[in-house]
Structure 1
């Protein structure tokens, strides 16, 4: 009888050890964020690497954000009131000109959540063709006020996109080299976290060399040497 009980316990233990257990529902798979372009643009001439304005950000004076939504704020009004802009006197002169002349162009405001707080941030750019420069600006909202979290000088022909909460800016370094700069939210501002330089394809893509150029590139053969047979050529 004792042997039977021991055998039953042994079988039960083996069944528990090797049996299947319900570990609960599987964790959902989060898709990798894809690029979301901000403004279409053609990359222009080479320029220095963008450099964000240093210092801690402060709210833009005299500008409130109704309902805490930056979509309720006029981008031009916000830019004019922002006293943290580089080259402040030149900036204000040019921005005032944006209202009445073609001295500069304010790109339409774009909205992305770059801080990850669930609220949309405002991204805009000011193009100044006469000065051959441009400024990229990003604002977030804190306590009902607009706070600049990035202001950097870029090329007039730059392009930009967001990938998740990253802001990526593309500019030419040379006619055949592009630099991609990534900014990421590192409180209290967007900070430069990486730069990648890659070759770019010339307009129209790569072209085949002329026939005579291809022939000239082949090694010269002695006139007495027999021409290679088709079979030899096919073996590489």
Structure 2
């Protein structure tokens, strides 16, 4: 009997409770069903473009043996010599400071390595400082014994993270209290990193508007007392 009462007591403590009425599920409603399909692609978003970096090789296609600065220099040299625009036309300056006493001014940041494609081999992820506090983020891998850039983007980046096999960029938004967050993922069909998720997120309250200082009241101008009227004394009136 005691065991029955104990079980009954446990059941009373964990009984289900109603969470209230739920809203009715509604399917998506298509707007403007007679709208004709687009005849051209949207504006270039910089996704899906790849670039072979000529002149850069490594024994066994080991990307850890590649010098990151040499990669950026090779791309800049190819972009300068090519009459057509480069897939990554970033304005990289200060490469001459790399490997010198002023290496702190080198725009190429520390390299990171991670398997982003799932093939068991690491890819090379580079960050390159650009003018006006912009940051270029590029990803490279060996394909067919050729070093290939499979991702390239630049923005006013706040931070860069790698979560699983995604490269996540946080960038400054033009709305106070918000930021852009883009996740780049490997696409096996395109053989490139694509921005698979792009969103704008709230990060905090917007900055309070600055209140202009209250002007101080101007000091009152001194009033001029009216001239005194001379009084006539009785003795003067008699005279």
Q: TM-score range by the shorter chain?
A: 0.5 to 0.7
Q: What does the per-residue CA deviation read over 1:50-87, in whole Å, with 9 as the maximum and x for residues that have no partner?
A: 943664x2421000022221111111111111244533
Q: Does 1:87 align with 2:89?
A: yes
- Structure 2 CA distance for partners of 1:53 and 1:191, relative to 1, 3 Å: closer
Are residues 77 and 199 of structure 1, via their aligned partners in 2, closer, same or farther at CA, if it must alter by over 3 Å?
A: same
Counterparts of residues 15-164 of structure 1 (less than 5 Å): 51-52=45-46, 55=49, 57-82=50-75, 83=78, 84=86, 86-87=88-89, 90-91=91-92, 93-98=93-98, 104-128=106-130, 130-155=131-156, 157-164=157-164
Instruction: Flag the 1:177–1:162 CA change in 2: closer, same or farther, 3 A.
Output: same
Q: Does 1:192 align with 2:214?
A: no
In 2, Cα distance between equivalents of 1:178 and 1:58 = 29
| Greater Rg over alpha carbons, structure | 2
The answer to whether the 8 A contact 1:66-1:73 is kept is: no
So what's the TM-score if we normalise by structure 1?
0.55
**Aligned 8 A contact 2:184 2:194 in 1:** yes
Structure 1 match to 2:177? 176
In 2: Cα distance, 1:117 partner to 1:54 partner: 19
How far apart, in 1, do the equivalents of 2:140 and 2:202 lie? Answer: 32
Q: CA deviation at 1:147?
A: 0.5
Would the aligned equivalents of 1:159 and 1:170 in 2 still touch at CA under 8 Å? yes
Cα distance change of structure 1 residues 105 and 124 upon mapping to structure 2, 3 Å threshold: same
Instruction: Say if 2:166 and 2:185, in contact at 8 Å, map to a contact too.
Output: yes
Alpha-carbon RMSD: 2.9
- The aligned counterpart of 2:11 is none
Normalised to the residue count of structure 2, the TM-score between the two structures is 0.55
Of structures 1 and 2, the one with the larger relative CO (CA 8 A, separation 6+) is 1
State whether residues 60 and 78 of structure 1, in contact with CA within 8 Å, keep that contact through their aligned partners in structure 2. yes
Structure-2 separation of matches of 1:58 and 1:51: 16
Unaligned 5+ residue runs, structure 1? 1-49, 204-236
In 1: Cα distance, 2:66 partner to 2:166 partner: 23
User: For residues 122 and 112 of structure 2, what CA distance do their matches in structure 1 show?
Assistant: 9
Structure 1 residue 113 displacement after superposition: 0.9
The 1-side partners of 2:116 and 2:176 are apart by 31
Q: Any runs of at least 4 consecutive aligned residues in structure 1 with deviations exceeding 4 A, and if so which?
A: 97-104
Q: CA deviation at 1:109?
A: 0.4
